[in-house]
């Protein structure tokens, strides 16, 4: 009887422990299920957001492709209807934000012949090469940059591995961390220039100022005197000054040059130099009134997608327009 009573008391003492353990187990199971359920819901939410973004981005790109087709048609018609390109034409006007169902798009078409093409340093004619080099050096000096980088830039684009006096070939860059080699070909994008000795260490503000007047085109190109910026016009010759440039910018708004001779006559009147003297420093081959390369920049917003874009178009002598490059990025 005593043994039975003791056993009964012992069992009575164990029951609360077993009940507590069972409750703890249930709570752990509920917690695990809750965590798993939350994780599944979160992943499902991300999948929906990702799918929505991809769908909106695809719609944005469709609108962009339509804009590019419209630009190509406009540039072709412009070439067929007139023989010059100037800033008072319709293509040069910014495209204000145009709304469409669910979003809007805005853009600006820029003449790349209004800038100095650094790949002109690949010019094989010695006299022309010398003039292009001098022009780039003047532009650099006007923006407060040491001109010794031009040797490095020539070494970057030429096909040999022999460094110029102030230049740098692959042997210099291979000692850097990380190591890399010179391109030994034409520069493709402006950001590539940040790898060139003399331009690598430029402060952001100075780099922004420098890159405003330069471009990287796949062939030797002239400068459009009807669209060139003030900084580019100032670099055309040693004798070019603020007064002459400001006078030309005012005149071309109303009466852009219809030929190179118009600009030379203007310079003769402003400087007192003869046409022959002007031609020695600024030959006709360096100037033009027609452009072939255009940069389209802008952004498009649709739903969850906010997309920046850039595209380069080439317009040939037959007025046919082709898309050469396209970049997509986060909207600025």
Domains and their CATH numbers in the chain:
1-115+213-332 (3.30.1300.30), 118-212 (1.10.40.60)
Q: Is 297 helix (H, G, I), strand (E, B) or coil?
A: strand
What is the predicted pLDDT for the residue at 9?
Answer: 47
What is the predicted pLDDT for the residue at 32?
Answer: 78
What is the predicted pLDDT for the residue at 306?
Answer: 85
CB 142 within 8 A of CB 235: yes
What is the predicted pLDDT for the residue at 33?
Answer: 77
DSSP conformational letter for 123: -
DSSP conformational letter for 87: T
What is the predicted pLDDT for the residue at 37?
Answer: 73
Tokens 């406009």 correspond to 74
236 contact partners, CB below 8 Å, separation of at least 6:
135, 223, 282, 286
What is the predicted pLDDT for the residue at 17?
Answer: 61
Q: How far apart are the first and last CA of the chain?
A: 90
Residue whose C-alpha is closest to residue 140's, from 198, 222, 200:
198
What is the predicted pLDDT for the residue at 16?
Answer: 63
Mean pLDDT by 10 residues, the chain (332 residues): 49 58 75 76 70 77 89 94 92 86 89 97 95 96 92 94 93 92 93 93 92 95 97 95 96 94 95 92 95 94 85 94 87 50
Report how far residue 96's alpha carbon sits from residue 210's, in angstroms, rounded to the nearest whole number.
27
Tokens 């093409």 correspond to 117
Report how far residue 109's alpha carbon sits from residue 141's, in angstroms, rounded to the nearest whole number.
28
- The alpha carbon of residue 217 and the mean position of all alpha carbons in its chain are separated, in whole angstroms, by 13
């Amino acid at each position: 009887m005593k043994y039975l009573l003791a056993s009964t008391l012992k069992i009575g003492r164990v029951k609360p422990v077993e009940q507590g353990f069972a409750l703890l187990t249930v709570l752990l199971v509920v917690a695990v299920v809750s965590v798993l359920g939350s994780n599944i819901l979160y992943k499902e939410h991300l999948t929906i957001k990702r799918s929505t973004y991809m769908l909106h981005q695809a719609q944005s790109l469709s609108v962009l492709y339509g804009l590019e087709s419209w630009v190509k048609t406009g540039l072709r018609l412009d070439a067929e209807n007139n023989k010059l390109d100037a800033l008072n034409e319709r293509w040069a006007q910014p495209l204000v934000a145009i709304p469409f169902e669910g979003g809007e798009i805005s853009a600006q078409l820029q003449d790349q012949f209004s800038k100095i093409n650094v790949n002109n340093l690949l010019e094989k004619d010695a006299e022309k090469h010398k003039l292009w080099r001098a022009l780039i050096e003047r532009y650099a000096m006007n923006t407060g940059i040491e001109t010794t980088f031009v040797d490095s830039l020539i070494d970057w684009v030429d096909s040999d591995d022999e460094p110029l006096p102030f230049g740098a070939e692959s042997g210099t860059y291979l000692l850097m961390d990380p190591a890399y080699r010179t391109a030994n070909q034409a520069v493709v994008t402006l950001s590539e220039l940040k790898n060139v000795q003399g331009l690598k260490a430029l402060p952001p503000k100075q780099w922004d100022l420098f890159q405003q007047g330069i471009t990287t085109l796949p062939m030797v190109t002239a400068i459009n005197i009807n669209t060139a910026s003030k900084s580019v016009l100032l670099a055309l010759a040693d004798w070019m000054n603020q007064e002459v440039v400001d006078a030309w910018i005012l005149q071309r708004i109303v009466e852009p040059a219809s030929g190179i001779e118009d600009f030379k006559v203007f310079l003769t009147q402003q400087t007192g130099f003869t046409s022959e003297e002007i031609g020695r420093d600024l030959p006709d081959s360096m100037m033009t009134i027609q452009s072939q390369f255009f940069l389209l920049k802008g952004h498009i917003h649709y739903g969850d997608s906010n997309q920046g874009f850039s595209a380069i178009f080439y317009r040939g002598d037959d007025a046919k327009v082709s898309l050469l490059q396209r970049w997509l990025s986060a909207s600025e």
